[in-house]
Amino acid sequence: MNLLKHMGYSHDSKIRPETLKSMDKVKPKVWEYKDGFYSRYSRANEEQRALYEPTLDLINDFFKANWPAMSNEEKMRWKYQRYMQDYLGCISSVDDNVGRVLDYLDENGLSENTIVVYTSDQGFYLGEHGWFDKRFIYDESFKTPLLIRWPNKIKAGATCDEMVQNLDFAQTFLEAAQIKSPASMQGESLMPLLKGNNKLWTRDAVYYHYYEYPGVHKVKRHYGIVNKEYKLVHFYHDVDEWELYDRKKDLQEMNSIYDDPDYNDIVNELKIKLTELRVKYKDSEELDKHFIEITKENKKH
């Protein structure tokens, strides 16, 4: 996930495969020729391509003329600027189109009886820790936006900092529609929080597990428990490392205090709760090993 070494030319920086092939000293990954550019770009129609081609021309012409003579620092800064311009352009487009949806609701008399939920995939690293993408349990990629508008039900401008997850959405929508949720679902309806009844909310910690390794970005397999005060993480598979962060004192999670004897009681308490959450969500060491074996078998084929 290093900006200089791992960010792709085509997929991430919008360099055409033809440009890369014409440059002797640029050595992209093989997959960049296959699907790093055109697999995504082919989704655009002719009108959309006509609007975007002049921008791609500028990017590619600059890259071809300047990249060979750039220092590593200059290359990293260029990749970062390309990344941020794409990211912020995407965000701007999302904002525009959320506005179109809200305008449509207003214009058609639907605003008063429509629940609008604005959320996303995991948060992204925008250069924090020198990274891009997501996957880690660390704060920047652990959090996701969640805004909900429900006239006459949710007080405008109200905020809440309880521990909620995307697996809570389904139960929330079902309850809003007065439909009983299946017992097999693992989330909790957000309805008490939406109505301001925070005392009825029972969750005080959330569970996270990432197991796509070996895989893209090489993020190690890890799971953990997060509450408002602490984050306990276990990296496993070909490593065995524990980390503990004080979320109140160390906002950027730069200093693991797992080995600090002053936090022994906290570690022991969180490990017990972590085990309980793994049982609750039907996760286990057996499943860890099972998915590791599946990955090994897939790599053979």
Mean residue pLDDT of the chain comes to 93
Read off the pLDDT of residues 254-274 as tens digits, 9 standing for 90 and up: 999 999 999 999 999 999 999
Q: How confident is the model at residue 161 (pLDDT cuts 50, 70, 90)?
A: very high
Per DSSP, 226 falls in state: E
pTM of the predicted protein model? 0.89
Lowest mean pLDDT among 17-31, 106-120, 275-289: 17-31
Question: Concatenated DSSP letters for 27-74?
Answer: ---HHHHHTSSHHHHTTS-HHHHHHHHHHHHHHHHHHHHHGGG--HHH
Angle at 124 between CA 118 and CA 129, to 5 degrees: 150
Instruction: Spell out a b/e string for 18-29, using b for 16 or more CB atoms within 10 Å of the CB, else e.
Output: ebbeeeeeeebe
pLDDT for the residue numbered 237: 95
E strands, 132-270, in order:
132-133, 146-149, 205-210, 222-227, 230-235, 241-246
User: How far is it, in rounded angstroms, from Cα 90 to Cα 83?
Assistant: 11
User: How far is it, in rounded angstroms, from Cα 237 to Cα 213?
Assistant: 9
Q: How confident is the model at residue 216 (pLDDT cuts 50, 70, 90)?
A: confident
Instruction: Spell out a b/e string for 271-297, using b for 16 or more CB atoms within 10 Å of the CB, else e.
Output: eebbeebbeeeeeeeeebeeebeebee
pLDDT for the residue numbered 97: 97
Percent above pLDDT 90 for the chain: 81
Can you read off the two tokens belonging to residue 55? 């921008």
